[in-house]
Amino acid sequence: MNTYVATGKNEKRPAKSKAYAAIVWHEFKKNKGALIGLGLVIFFISIGLLAPYISPHDPLLMNQANRLQPPSITHWLGTDEHGRDLMSRIIHGARISTTVGVVAVLIAGVGGVTLGLTAGYWKSADAIIMTMIDLLMAFPFLLLAIGIVSILGPSLTNTMIAVGIGGIAGYCRVTRAEVLRVRELEFVEAAHALGYSNARIILNHILPNVLAPIIVMVTLTLGSSILGAAALSFLGLGAQPPQPEWGFMLNSARSFVMRAWWYSVFPGLAIMLMVLGFNMLGDGLRDALDPRLKNMM
Amino acid sequence: MSIAYIVRRFLAAFGVLIGVSLLVFLMLQLIPGDPVYQILGEMATEEQAVAMRARLGLDQPLHIQYFRFMSGALRGDLGRSIVTNRSISDEIARRFPLTVRIALYAVLIQSIIGCSLGILASLKHRKWPDNAAMLGALLGVSSPSFWLALILMLVFSVWLEWLPISGYTDWRSLVLPSLTLGLLGGGRIARMTRSSMLEVLRQDYVRTARAKGLAERVVVFKHAFKNAIIPIITLIGMDFGSLLGGALITETVFAIPGVAQLAITGISRRDFPMVQGVVLVMAVVFTMTNLLVDIVYSLVNPRIRYQ
Amino acid sequence: MRKEFKIFALVLIVPIIAATLLGCTPRSVTQQPAGGGHFIFAWVSDLPTWDPDRTTWSELPQSLIYDGLVELDMDGNVTGRLARRWELSEDGLRWRFFLREDVYFHSGRKMTADAVKFRFDRMRQPDGANRGMVSSIQEVNVIDTYTVEFVLSFPDPTLWNIFGSAFFGAIIDPVAVAELGEEFGAKPVGTGPWIIEEHVSGSHLTLRRNENYRWGATYWDNQGPPHMEKITFRFIPDETTRMLEIAQGSVDYTFVPPGETARLRQNNRVNVITYPGNGITYWGFNMKKWPWTDESVRNAMQFAINKEGITQHALEGLARPLWSALPPSIAGFNQAHEDELRARFPFSPDRARATLEAGGWVRGTDGIYAKDGQSLRVSVWVRNDPLQVRIAEMIESDLAAVGVDLVIEIVEQARITSDTPQGLHQSLIWQYGWWDPIILWFVFRDGGIRMHHVNEELHNLLLTGHQTVDNAERMQIYLQAQRLLAEQNPWVVLYFPEVIVAFSDRVENIRINHRGPGLIVNDLRLTR
C-alpha cells in the first residue's frame, strides 16, 4: 500500500508507513492538549470497560430510604431518587456512552465515506448523492433523529442508528472533497494508465490518502454523537430505564434540580469531560497528521 | 456574479425543499400511531375512530394526501392542525419571530465571544491566553446544551433572581436561551477565528504592515481580521441552521413558545400537518440562509465568481 | 479591503435590527403581580379545542366559559345552574328541565330551550366525541321557550354527570355554531362567568369577567360575576419552572407533584392543599397476549409489587395503595371488600414465587422464571412523565426480585392512546379518572381498549350497572363487578393519588368540589 503524505499542494511525498506513524506520534506527543485529550478518552473508556469491577455499588440497587442524598463518604457523588449510588451509575454510564459513540460513528462513517467515495469518483453519481446530502443537511438534525426514533421505537439501539444516520452527511462531504482533490494527482492517473480496476484504485490509492481528515472527523464526531444520543435520551427517546445513561439521568435530575444539585451536575460533567477528551484528541490528531494544517480547521 | 449562477442555485434550493417535504411526509407516515385516539380520549370506540379518521382525511391514499399538502403549501397555506384545528400558517407565523429572535441574539453573542476569543488567541499564539481561550472554546463545544441551560437557569434565575425563569414575557425571557446557544456556538466560532487569523497573520502583507510601523491595532483589524473573516462568515451562516434545531432543547427547558416546540409537540401528538409545516418552514429558512451566505461569499471571493 | 469590513459589520448589525423590529410586535403577558383582581394559573399545556363535541378531555379553563344545566354539590346532590328545577318521570325515562329565564350568551343572545336541544342533538351526532356518554338519550323535545324534555331509552343515572359538567354539558350558542362551523372550537360562545379575552396558542390564555353573569350554581357562595377581573393561564410545560414560579409568588395556583410538596409546605408565601383524586393508576395486562393468558402469572403479580413502597417513596406518601377496582372517592367503593382484597393479596415476594412455581414455572440459571422454553420477560409501556417512569422503575425492581424481567419502554402518550386499542402492547401503566363508577364500563366494555379483557359476565354486569336507577341496587352490582375483577386479575391496581395544589398567599376562600367541578373559581378572592 502506497501512502503519500498530503501537503496541501499538488505534490506527493512517498513515506514509509512505519516512519510515518512515528512522525505523527512524535508531533502528537508535543501537543499537551492532545495528550490530555488522550488521557481523558482512555480514562473514560477504561472505567467503562472495568465498570463491574471498580464500581463501588450496584448501579441498579435501589434503597428508597437513602434517596437524594448529597455526596458523602459512602456515596461519593450522592444518590438519585431511588437511592441508587450516582457514582456507580456514572461509571456504568461510561460504558453505554462509549458504545453509543462507537456505533453511531461507525454507521455515519461507513455510510458517509462510501457515499463520499462514490460521489467523488464517479461524476454521474455525484449530482444525485450530493442532492440527497443537501436534503439531509437541510433537515434539522434533532427533528430527524426524533423522527427516526419515533418510527423505530425508543431504545438505545435505535438512538445509535438515528444519530448515525444524522452524521452521514458530514462524512460524505469531507470524503468527497478529499477524493476530488486526490483524484487529480498523478499517481491516480498512472494507476488508470496501468489498467487497474476502479475498485482497486479507490481502495489502494485514493482511500489511504483521504484517511487523515476522516480520522480527525471520527474523533470529533465521537464527541458529537455522544452529545446527540444524550439529547435524545434527555427527551425520553433513547436509553430506557433503568439503564444508567447519562442523558437520561439528567432528564430525571430535572425534577429535582433544586433539591439535589449533584444529580444535575455530575452526569452532565461526565458528558462534558468525555466529549472534551474526544475533541482534544481530535485536535491533536489533526495537528499531528499534518503540521501545516495545524493552523487551519 | 452571473445571473445564471444565482438562478441555478435557486433551482437547486427549490429542489432540496421539495425533497425535504417528501422526506418529512414519508417519515411521518412511517411513525406508528395516529392522532385520532389522542383526540377522542379514553372513552373512544373503534367506530368513532374510523369516523374521525375519515373526517380528517387520514384514510385517503398517500399520494393524494401529499398532493393536497403540497398544493396548499405552495400557495402559502399549510393546512390546519389536526389537534387544534387552527391554521398552521398562522400558528407558525405567530411563533416564528420568537425562535428567530433567539437565533439572532445567539448569533450575535456567539460572534462577539467567538471572534474576540479567537483574535486574542491568535495574537498570543502558544502563550497562556491562547491556551485559556481555546480551552474555554472547547468547553463550550463539548457541553450538552440542556445541561448548560439548567445551570444558567439555576444561577441567574433562582440564585441571583436577575432574569425570569421561564415562559415568554419580554426580551428578558430570551436572554438565557440566547446565552445558552451563544456560549455553545461561541466555542465553534472562536476556534475557526483563531485558525483563520493565524493563517492570515503569517502572510507577507501583514509582516509588511508591521514593518511599516503601523499600530498593532490597525494591523490586526484593518488588515488581518478583514481577510480572516471570510470563512467565519460562512461558518456563521451554516451555524444558523443548527441554531434553529438547537433552539428545540432551549425552548423546551425555558418554556419559550417558539416554532421548534411546535414540532416536538406535533410529533408526540401525531399532528402530521403541523410537523410537516414546521419542518418545511425551517428548511426554507435554512436553505435561504445558506443561499445568501453562498452569494455573499462569492461576491467577496472573486475566485469562485466565475464558476 | 473595506468591502469585507462592511460585510462583517452588516453581519452583526442586521441581526440586531431584525431582532429589534421583530421584538416590536406587542403581545406579551405583563408579569406584574397584578393587584386588584388578576389571577394567574401556572398551567401545563394548551387546550386543544374549546368545542365540547370535539374532545373528551376536560380541564378547568374549558369549563369557565360555559355553564351546564345543573351541578353536583360537595355531597353529590344535584343543584341548579342554568336550570331552576327539574322533574323526572316515575319510570325515569322522561327528564324535564325548567330553565332560568335571565340567561344570556356572551354574544348577547338569550339562552332558551332551543339552545339546549341544539346542543344535545349535536352531542349525539356520529362525530360527537362524547356520544358514548349520552347513549341513553333517545330524543330531546322543546316543550316551551324555557322548558326542555329528554326522552331516554333506559333510565340512566349517569346522565347527571353530563348535565352537571360545565364543559361536556355546556349549552352553546347555536347561532355562533351556525356561523363559525368548525371554527367554533377556536372562537367559542357560551354563557359562563368568564369570557375569552386573549388566547395565544402555546403561551397563555386570558379570560375576563362576564359582568352580566347572574346564574351561578346555587351552592356556590357567589352566583354573580366573579370577584376577580381577569384570569390568565400561563402554559408552562416544564415542571421545574412551574415550581420555581409558585415558590416565588409569580403565579397564584398550580398543581404540585408529590416530590415538591414538602418543600412548598415550608414556604410561607404558599398554601398547599390536598384532596383525594378520583382516579386510579394501574398496571394493565394486554389479555390477548402471552403470558397473561396464564392465570398463575396474573395472580403472582398481585403479590409481587410493593404498593406501599411506591406510594411512600415515588409519591412521597401523597397517594394510597389500592386493591379494589374503584377508589374511595367514587361511589361504589366498598371498604370491606378493599380490606378483604388487601388480606388476600399482601405484598409477598415469597408467595409470588410460590404461585409461579405452582403454575409450572421454573427458575432458570439467569434467575428468570421460564416455562415451555420461554422466559418470563415482559414489556411495559409507560408514558414520558417523570413520575410514571419512576413508578415503572420501582416495579421493575420488585419484579426482578421475584424472577420476572420487566422491560420498560417509554412511549409517547399519543402512541399509547392509538396503539393500545389495537393491542400492540404487552402491558401498560395507565390511569383512569371519572367521578362515577360507570368508568368501569368504559374501561372494560367489550374487553376495553387498554386491556382487551373480553369477559361476557363482566361486560353484562357493567352494562346492567349502567342502567339501574335504584342507587342501592346499583352499588351492589358494582360490588359484584369488583369481586369479579379480583378473581380475574387483568391488572394490578396500584394506588389512588391525592391531588396536590398550591396557592399563593393572596388567594382566599378556596373551595374545591372533588366531584368533578373542582376549584370553585367564582368564590375565589384576592387579598391584594
**Is the CB of residue C105 less than 8 Å from the CB of residue C176?**
yes
Band (pLDDT 50/70/90 cuts) for residue B208 is confident
pLDDT of residue A274: 94
**Whole-number Å distance between alpha carbons of C383 and C401:** 24
**How many whole angstroms separate alpha carbon B73 and alpha carbon B58?**
18
How close B207 comes to chain A (CA, Å)?
A: 18
Confidence of residue A8 (pLDDT cuts 50, 70, 90): very low
Please give the Cα distance from B213 to C179 (Å, whole number).
80
User: Given a cut of 50, is residue B185 above it in pLDDT?
Assistant: yes
Query: What are the Cα distances from residue C146, in Å, to C79, C99, C102, C112, C177?
Result: 18, 5, 10, 6, 20
- Nearest CB to B158 within list A137, A258, A265: A258
* Residue A44 grid coordinates: 473514560
For B42, the 3-state DSSP assignment is coil
Mean pLDDT, chain C, integer: 87
Query: Residues of B with CB below 8 A from C449's CB?
Result: 37, 44
B168: how many CB neighbours lie within 10 A of its CB? 26
Contacts 24+ apart (CB under 8 A), B88-96: B88/B273, B88/B274, B88/B277, B89/B277, B91/B262, B91/B274, B91/C201, B92/B259, B92/B262, B92/B277, B92/B278, B92/B281, B94/C200, B94/C201, B95/B257, B95/B258, B95/B259, B95/B261, B95/B262, B95/C201, B95/C202, B96/B258, B96/B259, B96/B281
How far CA B33 is from CA of B3, B30, B66, C450, in Å, comes to 47, 9, 18, 15
User: What is the SS3 assignment for B286?
Assistant: helix
- Overall average pLDDT of the A7-12 stretch: 47
Measure the CA–CA gap between B215 and C29, rounded to whole angstroms.
Answer: 51
Among A131, A147, A234, the residue with its CB nearest the CB of B146 is A234
Q: Whose CA is closest to C243, among B165, B159, B253?
A: B165
| C385: nearest CA partner in chain A | A236
* CB-CB under 8 Å, B257 with C235: yes
List the alpha helices (DSSP H) in chain B: 3-30, 36-40, 46-55, 62-74, 88-123, 128-142, 145-152, 175-201, 204-211, 216-218, 226-254, 259-269, 272-300
B307: pLDDT strictly greater than 80 = no
Neighbours of chain A (3+ CB pairs under 8 A): B, C
CA distance C228 to C208: 9
B248 in contact with A, Cβ within 8 Å:
yes
Cα C51 to Cα B77, C47, C106, C216, distances in angstroms: 24, 10, 15, 21
State the burial class of residue A76 (Cβ atoms within 10 Å of its Cβ: 0-12, 13-18, 19+).
middle
Cell of C202: 402555546
Q: Is C496 helix (H, G, I), strand (E, B) or coil?
A: strand
Spatial distance between the Cα atoms of C218 and B140, rounded to a whole number of angstroms:
62
Q: Which residues of C touch B51 (CB under 8 A)?
A: 126-127
Phi, psi of A260 (to 5 degrees): -140, 80
Strand-pairing partners, residue C408, are C380
As a whole number of angstroms, the distance between CA C337 and CA C320 comes to 16
User: In one letter, which amino acid is A137?
Assistant: M
What local confidence, expressed as pLDDT, does residue C119 receive? 95
Q: Which of B224, B7, C286, B187 is nearest to A283 (CA)?
A: B187
Read off the pLDDT band of C84 (50, 70, 90).
Answer: very high
Residues A207-264 have pLDDT tens digits of: 777 787 888 888 889 998 999 899 888 887 888 888 899 999 988 887 787 778 889 8
Closest chain A residue to C262 measured between Cα atoms?
A259
Specify the pairing of strand C319-321 against strand C362-363.
unpaired
Here the cell at position A199 is 475498485
Distance set, CA C465 to CA A101, C359, C461, C462, C477 (Å)? 57, 34, 6, 5, 6
pLDDT at C31 over 70: no
Where are the extended beta strands (E) located within C21-82? 38-43, 70-72, 78-80
Q: Is the pLDDT of residue C242 over 90?
A: no
pLDDT at residue number C174: 94
pLDDT of residue B303: 53
Number of cross-chain residue pairs from B and C with Cβ atoms under 8 Å apart? 185
Question: How is residue C358 written as a grid cell?
Answer: 405452582
What is the overall mean pLDDT for chain B?
Answer: 80
- Res C172 pLDDT > 90: yes
Ranked by mean pLDDT, which of B60-74, B277-291, C318-332 comes out on top? C318-332
**At how many degrees (to 10) do helices B226-254 and B145-152 cross?**
70
Question: Using CB atoms and an 8 Å cut-off, which of residues 140-159 of chain B contact chain C?
Answer: 153, 157-158
Where b means 16+ CB within 10 Å and e means fewer, B263-287 reads bbbbbbbbbbbbbbbbbbbbbbbbb
The domains of chain A, with CATH numbers, are 24-57+76-296 (1.10.3720.10)
How many whole angstroms separate alpha carbon B102 and alpha carbon B108?
10
Cell of C185: 372550537
At residue C17, the pLDDT reads 64
Nearest beta carbon to residue A255 from set C386, C408, C415? C386
Strands C38-43 and C230-235 come out as parallel
Residues A158-178: tens digit of each pLDDT: 999 999 998 898 899 888 888
Which one, of C79, C107, C95, lies nearest residue C172 by Cα? C107
Nearest to B27 among A137, A140, A151 (CB): A151
pLDDT in tens, B101-156: 888 889 889 989 988 888 888 888 878 888 888 888 989 889 998 899 888 887 88
When pLDDT is averaged across residues A2-25 and rounded to a whole number, the result is 55
The residues, any chain, with a CB within 8 Å of residue B21's CB and separated by 6 or more, are B69, B70, B73, B276, B279, B280, B283
Is the Cα dihedral B263, B266, B267, B273 positive or negative?
Answer: negative
Cβ density class C471-509: b for 16+ within 10 Å, e for less: eeebbebbbbbbbbbbebbbbbbbbbbbbbbbbbebbee
